[in-house]
Structure 1
Amino acid sequence: MGVSIIVAIDGPAGAGKSTVARLVAQRLGVPYLDTGALYRAIAFFLDSRNIPPVENTVLTDALSTLSIEFSDRGLLLNGEEAGSRIRSPHVDSIVSQYSALPMVRRRLLSIQRDQGKKGLVADGRDMGTVVFPDATVKIFLTASDAVRARRRYLELRARGENVAFDDVLDVIRRRDRIDAERTSAPLKKADDAVEINTDGLTAEEAAREILMHIERRAAESEAHQ
């Protein structure tokens, strides 16, 4: 397929998108775009300045001062490494509120598309429907809310966070509701996306299944040339 391949992986929180997308990107030898980190960075940035998720001139001015870059050190927020600050349970609980705002989504759209000019694997909520509607392959990863909450719970506990499973499950369900009901780029499966349920799959197994779909698409493209 060449270096311009774009693989768009969408799905709800905890479906395994980031881990699987990284594996697929490694196998293909193309960059991985962590769009969830972008939205987390914006949520962290605005919340730390006591700017609520409401569209107004204050939000517009704040977004105009925001700088997000990718480097060998990871995601840089106004020149500083974002690191684990954007992965806290608090950011988990607020990110969907900020990412639902059209102003925020417009701010990140050009950043994401610029990253895709030479090919990549991107995961998020609207990669296949809005950001990369002409993606080479579109995948919709899903899993039950209990399984997704369990994965997130174990991840947080491994990082030393003192969280309760029921609280994590509540956050997952709240994020699902906000992501599905927002007016700007709601979470939904693209018409031409392949749906993969990861309830019983490891990340490696899900990645292999996606790679098989990519190989199949490549073979179909060659057959039509």
Structure 2
Amino acid sequence: MKKITIAIDGFSSTGKSTLAKQLAKKLHYIYVDTGAMYRAVTLFAMKAGFVENGKIDKNPLIGSLDDINLKFVFNADLGYAEMYLNEENVEKEIRTMSVSKNVSQVSEIEEVRKKLVAMQQLMGTDKGIVMDGRDIGTVVFPDAEFKIFMTASPEKRAVRRYKELLDRGEDVKYADILENVQKRDYIDSNREFSPLRKANDAIEFDNSDLGLEDQFQRMYEHALRIINKEA
């Protein structure tokens, strides 16, 4: 069966990663969470003291990019790969609210995006990959055979994120989560370099009121149609 590239873009907390993991597992493809990469760079910046009072000191971060080593290491117990920053497993740290508050600012830095996009394109050289993020179908893989753009109301996405963080033991407030979601939407959609937007040939998928299983089945069947057509 011929392999294709599946690019999933969309707003935060729309379930991109969940769908991408499901598709990758079912198709026996490689899954790459590009958001984890940007979160890891953000964590690096925070630990290095390049973030103060919600502001990113860009120049020292840009100057330190060569010191940032990112890789995904497959965890057989979990069934998916975890993010490692300079040989340290940071999967849990990068999912915290403190990182979420700063990741959009780090992601809009041109030099950061260029470094990570180059890494992502290298990962997808042989196809057979499912990658999710903000600019996968528009910048990373503009020629991807299957592009999905996921969206949902800010309120629904905030509820999902709120429950997720509570389950991880974080002390958070729904109002703060909603504000963060809306702020990230604005920054991601209006940044100068690689803004979040729907590719012209992407399927727009609003999952505000759709269950995970229905969502997966629809996208999986569509993927199979494309794969069979490409074969």
TM > 0.5 fold call: yes
In structure 2, the residue matched to 1:186 is 195
Q: Per-residue deviation at 1:219?
A: 4.1
Query: Which of the pair is proportionally richer in helix?
Result: 1
In structure 1, the residue matched to 2:227 is 218
1:196 and 1:61 map into 2 onto residues whose CA distance is 39
Cα distance per residue 1:41-62 (max 9 Å; x no partner) = 0001011111143442x22221
Q: Per-residue deviation at 1:209?
A: 1.2
In structure 1, the residue matched to 2:79 is none
1:207 and 1:115 map into 2 onto residues whose CA distance is 24
1:87 and 1:121 map into 2 onto residues whose CA distance is 20
Of 70, 73, 90, the match for 1:71: 73
1:210 and 1:167 map into 2 onto residues whose CA distance is 32
Deviates more, 1:207-216 or 1:189-198: 207-216
Cα distance per residue 1:168-212 (max 9 Å; x no partner) = 000000000000010000000000000111011122221211112
- Please give the residue correspondences for 1:52-91 in structure 2 after superposition, counting only pairs within 5 Å: 52=51, 53-56=56-59, 58-73=60-75, 74-91=82-99
Cα distance per residue 1:122-153 (max 9 Å; x no partner) = 10000000001111100001100000000000
In structure 2, the residue matched to 1:107 is 115
Cα distance per residue 1:52-109 (max 9 Å; x no partner) = 43442x2222111110112224221001111211111010110000001111101101
Whether the aligned pair in 2 keeps the contact of 1:21 and 1:207 (CA below 8 Å) is no
In structure 1, the residue matched to 2:165 is 156
Q: Per-residue deviation at 1:221?
A: 3.5
Counterpart residue type for residue 203 of structure 1: L
Identity %: 41
Normalised to the residue count of structure 1, the TM-score between the two structures is 0.94
- RMSD over aligned Cα atoms: 1.3
Counterpart residue type for residue 87 of structure 1: R
Q: Per-residue deviation at 1:220?
A: 3.7
Query: Is 1:172 the equivalent of 2:181?
Result: yes
1:133 and 1:107 map into 2 onto residues whose CA distance is 17
Of 91, 97, 103, the match for 1:95: 103
Query: Is 1:126 the equivalent of 2:135?
Result: yes
Structure 2 residues without counterparts, runs of 5 or longer: 76-81
Q: Per-residue deviation at 1:34?
A: 0.6
Q: Paired residues, what number?
A: 220
Structure 1 residues without counterparts, runs of 5 or longer: none
